[in-house]
Structure 1
Amino acid sequence: MPADRFVVVDISNSFAKIATVRERGLGKVERKATADLDRPFLQSLAVRHAGAPVVLASVVPAKTEIFAALFSRSLFLVHGKAPLGFAIEYPKPSEIGGDRLANAAAALHFWTPPVVVIDFGTATNFDVVNASGAFCGGIIAPGLDLMTDYLHERTALLPRVRLLEPKRGIGRSTVEAIRVGAVHGYRAMIRGLLERIREELGTDRLTAVATGGHAALVARGLAEVACVRPNLTLEGLRVLGQRWLAEPRSGRGARHRARA
């Protein structure tokens, strides 16, 4: 097996993404509902990738424990106290999700800091790397689906809608009005938060990149966002995995796991 072949896994609250890294690139990305990551599926994954190291970012502790048991021989669990190769300027590093740290690793690999990664998931995270190349914090906002689903669930007449680009700025139907509020409103929120980040960092030079489920839709109308990278978190895990596997075996050990 080539030394640079390993598996990267990003487990969010809603979905997991799994990919094999070969020849310094990502293979086909498998997407699966997090609820379906049961032990039989993960056992089949272990058989498919027998012997391959695994680099894991997970925000679902129950799934993390199954991975830790099945891939115990060579597992790199990304967390705030793991050797990541960049500084963390954060009061409690253990509180930082592994996906956010993977985003920071990708940001430093592909762009010159300061960089902010806007990750559109169940929540929308803004992961900030300052000018010195340190992860320094961010912002967590409700995700677009959470907002629109909540409207439907908490009202008698508002429907659940499929999020699409609105045709105008003033909705001419209930569905269109919800889309305007969600898409245009979300863009306005992002503009305001990016401006606040620039002010706090004390710079006009800030690269903003987007990833995650609704990134393409929202970023389409945001000149402030330089580009959309759908699998940026997995790319960050790839970067961290290559760095980890390049360490002397005695230095990296069999695995790194979060400790309470």
Structure 2
Amino acid sequence: MSEKLEVILVDIGNSAIKTTEVIDGDFKNIQTWRNLVEMLAKYHDSPMMVSSVKRMENETLEKYDAKILTHRTRLPITLNYETPETLGSDRIAAAVGACELFPEKDNLVVDLGTCMTIDLIDRAGVFQGGVISPGLPMRMKAMADYTDQLPDISEEWKELKGEQLGKTTKECLFSGAVWGILHEINGVFQTLEQDFTSLNMILTGGDAHFFESKLKAHIFAGSKIVQKGLYRIWKYQ
């Protein structure tokens, strides 16, 4: 019996496009693309479930067999958000993925991408809002862009030492960006767990692996959480 392709899950972020084939319920052939033209050359005839943070890509995909996730899409969670039309589809998909993975818990989803988002989805499946702040490379680049003499380390930070107190200006910039994010995440978690006692933290995004061992809370590294959310939403339609 041949395998059946159900849908292509498409996650369009600020810096990359990621696709995942769902074949008989399994996630396979995960690929990263430089642009939409390359991706559509392969998948133009396939059904797609799409999360995109770019408006132009959405307009292009409307011409294909693509279900584009928005706040108007029928969802298995409730959005307690005053401006749902401004809520990123990647945040919605990750929230649904968190509920799929841990349905009996309050979930804090930390997405460490171009921007860092921290979102709370309670055990009743209600998206309660979150936090948006600069991601790691953005913090490093901003310090260079908005000053006259500080260097831009956003392309070389992985080569620098990870000490708390830097001994060079570049190390100080690195420490400021890294420890700022760590204390921000820990602070949000510790504040929310006072009211949400079953709080579970899920890390995702391109820089998640770098912070996984440095956080105080018990965490789950969910590299496929957006895909899991997109697939759940696609099946829910």
Which residue of structure 2 aligns with residue 251 of structure 1? Answer: none
Structure 2 CA distance for aligned equivalents of residues 99 and 203 of structure 1: 23
Q: Deviations over 1:7-41 (max 9, x none)?
A: 011112222211111132221222234xx33xx43
Structure 2 CA distance for aligned equivalents of residues 85 and 156 of structure 1: 49
Do residues 210 (structure 1) and 208 (structure 2) align? no
Matched position secondary structure for 2:9: strand
Q: CA deviation at 1:215?
A: 0.7
Structure 1 residues 158 and 206: alpha-carbon distance in aligned structure 2, compared to 1, 3 A threshold: same
Structure 1 CA distance for aligned equivalents of residues 163 and 38 of structure 2: 45
1:88 is aligned, of 79, 82, 107, to 79
**Aligned ranges 1:25-174 → 2 under 5 Å:** 25-33=26-34, 36-37=35-36, 40-47=37-44, 50=45, 52-69=46-63, 71=64, 74-111=65-102, 112-161=104-153, 162-164=156-158, 166-174=161-169
**Which amino acid is the alignment partner of residue 111 of structure 2?**
D
Which residue of structure 2 aligns with residue 24 of structure 1? Answer: 25
Q: CA deviation at 1:2?
A: 5.8
Q: Is the 8 A contact 2:33 2:39 kept in 1?
A: no
Q: Is the 8 A contact 2:113 2:206 kept in 1?
A: yes
RMSD (Å) for aligned C-alpha atoms: 2.1
Structure 1 residues 4 and 83: alpha-carbon distance in aligned structure 2, compared to 1, 3 A threshold: farther
Do residues 236 (structure 1) and 237 (structure 2) align? no
Structure 1 CA distance for aligned equivalents of residues 81 and 143 of structure 2: 34
Structure 1 residues 4 and 86: alpha-carbon distance in aligned structure 2, compared to 1, 3 A threshold: farther
Matched position secondary structure for 2:78: coil
**Which amino acid is the alignment partner of residue 196 of structure 1?**
T
Structure 1 CA distance for aligned equivalents of residues 85 and 20 of structure 2: 25
Structure 2 CA distance for aligned equivalents of residues 144 and 114 of structure 1: 26
* TM value normalised by structure 1: 0.81
Tell me the matched-pair count.
232
Q: Which runs of 5+ in 1 are unaligned?
A: 245-260
Structure 2 CA distance for aligned equivalents of residues 231 and 145 of structure 1: 22
Matched position secondary structure for 1:237: helix
Matched position secondary structure for 1:210: strand
Structure 2 CA distance for aligned equivalents of residues 157 and 225 of structure 1: 39
Q: Which runs of 5+ in 2 are unaligned?
A: none
Q: Is the 8 A contact 1:6 1:21 kept in 2?
A: yes
Q: CA deviation at 1:134?
A: 1.2
Structure 1 CA distance for aligned equivalents of residues 151 and 26 of structure 2: 42
Quote the sequence identity (%): 23
* TM value normalised by structure 2: 0.89
